[in-house]
Amino acid sequence: MQADQIVLGFTWFVVFLFSTTLHEAAHAWAAYKLGDTTAYEGGQVSLNPLPHIQREPVGMIVVPLITFATAGWMMGWASAPYDPSWAHRYPRRAALMAIAGPIGNLILVTTAGLLIRLGMVFGIFYAPDRVSFTEVTGATAPWAEAVVVPLSILFSLNLILFLFNLLPLPPLDGSAVLPMFMSPQTAERYHGFLRQPMFSLLGLLLAWKIFPLILPPLQLGALRLLYPGLGYQ
């Protein structure tokens, strides 16, 4: 492996680790504030990645490294524990806990976008002719080129994490948000449905089929918001 690939892989891993940790820490913090201390007691209300890695070492280390080595990008997973009986008793609180993770990723997307726009104001960044996952923006000065890749990955990866986790399919966060719009009785029955492992497996398979179809127009919309008037196709 060449030096530039090692640097790119390290950059990917740092951004992936930070983004995933923030996602799960947001879940854990929301649950703690809403009455479930399970994740708090497990150390997950933290931006320190170690408690999250200890809980999901395969999803946070092994799979990301394998996918980068084989595909050039990283995927993986993490999880924050919660009390199922608490979620069963308070389905709307559980829904707020679920939405907190994607909101964390949305905050990172927005932050990356604002930094890019601020850099454009000062003449540091510019909108490239073609955009890729690792080049959402371009740098006008050599010293700023080191920021382009991590900032671009931060924008692109968190956009995907935000959108993917909002799919209303178990076990994704979007499926747990739906009880906010249900009656207590319906929400209780729905939570029983979500606890079935078979439905989680089917939900993931369906999500992987659907997401590649809906991602391109959503990415294009995000780029047009980032660079209004440029007409990316």
Q: Please state the pTM of the whole predicted model.
A: 0.93
Q: What is the pLDDT of residue 102?
A: 97
What pLDDT is stored for residue 210 in this prediction?
A: 94
**pLDDT: which is higher, 227 or 179:** 227
| pLDDT tens by residue, 1-30 | 688 999 999 999 999 999 999 999 999 999
Indicate whether 173 pLDDT > 80.
Answer: yes
**Position 227 pLDDT exceeds 80:** yes
- DSSP secondary structure, 67-108, as one string: HHHHHSS----------HHHHHH-HHHHHHHHHHHHHHHHHH
- What tokens were used for 94? 């559980």
**Residue 16, C-beta contacts closer than 8 angstroms, at least 6 positions apart:** 64, 74, 76, 157
Domain coordinates in residue numbering, the chain:
3-226
Percent of the residues in the chain that have a pLDDT greater than 70, as a whole number:
99
By percentage, how much of the chain surpasses pLDDT 90?
Answer: 74
Does 145 qualify as catalytic in the annotation? Answer: no
Alpha-carbon distance 7 to 173, whole Å? Answer: 32
Over range 146-151, report the average pLDDT.
96
- pLDDT for 179: 79
For the chain, strand residue ranges (E) read 125-126, 138-139
Q: What is the band of 81 on the pLDDT scale with cuts at 50, 70, 90?
A: very high
CA distance 134 to 5: 13
Mean pLDDT, residues 51-74: 95
